[in-house]
Amino acid sequence: MWRVRPIKPAMLALETSVERAGEALACAFSSSAEFEAALIQARRAAGLYGPRRHRRQLLIAAATLTVLALALLIL
């Protein structure tokens, strides 16, 4: 008859080690895009990118400068 070796406890220990190693390498982000978004948000909060400018304000400033430049050319 065949004798059953005590492989099961060793296999369970190995599986547990693999699970723990996988958990140690797990990332909190589900994709690289999510990681990049969090990184940019953290850098903005730290002031790395400077103040946020809104597009509408930039367009108004550009239009004002254009009108002033045209006024100076006409005079």
Question: Does pTM surpass 0.75?
Answer: no
Query: Is the pLDDT score of 2 beyond 60?
Result: no
Whole-angstrom Cα distance, residue 44 to residue 38? 10
Residue type, 17: S
- What's the pLDDT tens digit per position in 12-36? 777 877 777 666 566 677 788 888 9
